[in-house]
Chains A and B, each alone.
Chain A
C-alpha cells in the first residue's frame, strides 16, 4: 500500500482590506492629488494586478509638504509631551485593531507571506508606536545631563521590503521627540503608508504633523534637494533606509547644509556556524536568516560560513530543510516564501544567480511549481563560493545564500569582517565564551548569537561602516531625532576666543571675567534644568 504524499490544502487569508480606487498625497491633514495630476498604478507583485492608483508627487508637492510640516512644527513641538504620548499610544491601539487588514494589504502590495506580515511586521509596528509613545514625556531623562529639543522637519525615505514597519521605525521616534515628518514610501509599496495616514487622522494627529508623499526616485530627489535652512529648503533632518549607493548620494547632497542625517543601508551579513552548534537550530537560523521575506532584508544572513569539519553534514541538513519551504501565494497562511517585490528586483536577483553559476559556484534549488503570473524566485543555495565571487561580495537582496567555510575562529572573524558593510552578524555555537568573543570581534551593529533576524522596539538597530550610521529603536535611537542642549550650549555661538582673551590684560580683570562667566553659566544651567 502506498501512502499519498502529504499535501497542504490552500489556506488563504479571508480578510480583505477596504480600499479606494485611488489615493492622493497626504499633505496638511488631507488627501490631495499631485499638482501635476500624475498618478501611477501600484500592483500586487504576486498577481501583477493593480491594487489602486496613487499620486506621483513632484517638486510642487514636495514644496507643499515642507510648508505643511513647517507650519505644524511650532504647535506640535510645544504640545505637552504627555499629550503627544497619548496620541501615539492611541495610534498604537488603533493599529492593533486594524492589524489583520494592514497585514493583508502589506502582503498584497509587498509580496511577503501573510505569516510574516501578520506575526512579525504588524506586531513590531504596533510595539514601535507603543514604545515611543512612552518616551514623549521622558526625554529629559534620556540623554545623560543634556536637554532634548526636536530637530525640526524630518524627511524620511523608506524602502519596499518592510513598508509599514519602516514607516513606524521612522515616524514613532520622530513624533515622540516633537518633530514633524514627511514620509516618502517606496515607489512599489505605498499602500500601507497611506492607510497609516488614515489611522493617524482617525486618532486626531494634528494636520501637517505627518505628511505622506508617494512617488518614485524623482520624488525622493526633490525631497533631498530641500535639505537645509532657508526659503527654498526647510528640511532639518533626513532619515533614509535603502541602498548604500543612494545613501551616498544623499550624503553628498547634504554636505555643507547642516542637515542632520541618519542612514540605514545595505549589508552582506555573515552567519557563522561552528561545529559545536546545535545544528538543527542553526539550520532554522540560516533559513530565517536568508529566506525570511524572500531574502529582501538589509540584514539578511546572505553569507553562510560553516566550519569545514561539518560542511557536508550541515549542507545536507540545509538541503533537506529547503525541500520543505513552500513558495507561492503570499496570502496563503502556509506560504514560507512569497513573491519578489518587483520585476526589476527579480531581474537583479536573476542576474546575480547567473553570475554565481558563471563564476563557478554550485547552485542548489528545489524545483517547484511557480505561479504563471507575478515575480517569483525559488530559494537558491550556492556552495563552493570564493570570497572574490560577486555573490560573496555584493548585496543581492533576494533568496540567494552563498556558502563558504572556515577552519578557526580567527579565520571566521577575518572572513566575516572582509566586507565594506557591517549591519548584522550571526554566530552559532554552544560555547558561551566563544559566542561572546565572536560578538566582540565582528564588525556589525547587530550580532545575533544562536538566533537571527530578531527585532524589538527597545533594541537599537543600525550599521557599522558602509551599512550606515545612526540607530533606530530604544533610547539610543532617539538620538537621531533630537537636538541636544548642554547648559550654556543652546544659547551661545562660539565667540572669537582669542580676541576676547586679548582684551583682559590685568590679572584682576581676568578673575573678574572668570567669575562673571561662571555666574552666567550657572544661570543658564538652571534654565536648562527647567
Chain B
C-alpha cells in the first residue's frame, strides 16, 4: 500500500534581523493543536537569542526613527496589506491551535489588520497631537517634538495572540522604535506566520524581531538588559509584571504594563495616542528669537 501524500510541515523558527534562525540553544517546544496532537516544534528562545535581537534592533532603529513619518506610515500600511493577504492562514492557525470557531478567529484577524491600518495613519500625526509650540515668557522660539525611545521589548499575553501582538507592537513602531516581541506561547505557529508576513513587507530588517519563548524565563533578562530602552506588556501575571518593572531600576527603562486597560478589542483605548506616549520622548528646543 502506498503512503498518501505527506504534508510538508513548517519548521517554526525565530525572526531576528529579518532572518529566520533557530534558537542558538537548540531548544524546541512541542506545539499541540486543539485536540492535543503534536503538530510541530517551535524554537524555544534563550537569553542569547534575546541578546542577538537587541543587537539587531539597536542597529536598525536610528534609521527607522529618522525615516520620514510619511514613509513609516506607508511601511505600516504595507504590513496591513501583507496581513490581509495571509488572512486565511491566520484564521486556520487560530482555529486549529486554539480550537476557536472560524468566526471568532476571523473577528480577531480582521481587528488586528484594521489596527495596523490605524497606526499606519498615526505616524505623521503624533507630533501634531503630542508636540507643539510653547508661548514662553521671553524672546525665544520654543517647540516640543516627539522622538522614539529606542528598542522596546514587547511582552505579549496569551489571549487573542495575533491581536495582542499587533496591539502592543504597533504603538511602539509607529513612534519610530524597534521592537522585540516575546510572542505568546499559546500559538507559536501564529507568531511564526506573523514573522513571515513582516519579512515580506517593507519593515526593515531588525525593526521587528519575534521570539517564541517562556515569558517568566526571559523577563529578568529583558529587565536587566541595558540596551533595551523600554518595555511594553499587558495583562501579564503580577510576577512577570514585577520582574519587568524592575527593569526601570536598572537603567531607567520606560516600563508600561497595561494592567487595568480594556481588552484589545476596545478601539477607544487601543487606538488612542496615549498607548504610544510611554515609548515617546519629548524634546523641547529653544532658540532666541530676537537680536
Q: Indicate whether A31 reaches chain B with its CB closer than 8 angstroms.
A: no
Q: Indicate whether B263 reaches chain A with its CB closer than 8 angstroms.
A: yes
Question: A261 — nearest CB in chain B belongs to which residue?
Answer: B248
Question: Which of A445, A457, A497 is in CB contact (< 8 Å) with B264?
Answer: A497
A487 touches B269 (CB 8 A): yes
Nearest CB in chain A: distance from B151 CB, A:
12
A449 touches B272 (CB 8 A): no
Interface size class of A (residues with CB under 8 A): 35 or more
Nearest CB in chain A: distance from B33 CB, A:
16
A451 and B287 contact, Cβ closer than 8 Å, known pairs A497-B265, A498-B100: yes
Q: Main SS of the interface on chain A? A: mixed
Q: Indicate whether A505 reaches chain B with its CB closer than 8 angstroms.
A: yes
A444 touches B140 (CB 8 A): no
Number of interface residues of B (CB under 8 A): 55
Nearest CB in chain B: distance from A340 CB, A:
27
Contacts of A249 in B (CB 8 A): 249
Q: Indicate whether A125 reaches chain B with its CB closer than 8 angstroms.
A: no
Q: Main SS of the interface on chain B? A: mixed
Nearest CB in chain B: distance from A497 CB, A:
5
Contacts of A457 in B (CB 8 A): 137
Question: With the chains together, A447 CA to B286 CA distance in Å?
Answer: 6
**A-B CB contacts (within 8 Å), total count:** 176
Contacts of B268 in A (CB 8 A): 486-489, 521, 525
Contacts of B132 in A (CB 8 A): 474-476
A492 and B262 contact, Cβ closer than 8 Å, known pairs A248-B249, A459-B142, A510-B107: yes
Contacts of B264 in A (CB 8 A): 494, 497
Q: Determine which residue in B101, B142, B283 has the highest number of CB atoms from chain A within 10 A of its CB, and name it.
A: B283
Question: Which of B160, B238, B242, B259 is in CB contact (< 8 Å) with A498?
Answer: B160
Q: Which 9 pairs between the two chains have the least Cβ-Cβ distance? A: A487-B268, A256-B242, A255-B245, A252-B249, A456-B136, A251-B248, A494-B263, A251-B249, A489-B269
Chain A residues engaging chain B, CB cutoff 8 angstroms: 127, 143-146, 244, 247-249, 251-252, 254-256, 258, 261, 263, 265, 420, 435-436, 439, 444-451, 454, 456-462, 464-469, 471, 474-476, 479, 484, 486-489, 492-498, 501-502, 504-505, 507, 510, 517, 521, 525
Chain B residues engaging chain A, CB cutoff 8 angstroms: 98, 100-101, 103-104, 107-108, 129-130, 132, 134-138, 140, 142, 144, 159-160, 229, 235, 238, 241-242, 245-246, 248-252, 254, 259-266, 268-269, 272-274, 277, 281-288
* Contacts A494-B264, A496-B159, A497-B265 known; 4 new A-B pairs at CB < 8 A: A144-B272, A451-B140, A458-B136, A489-B266
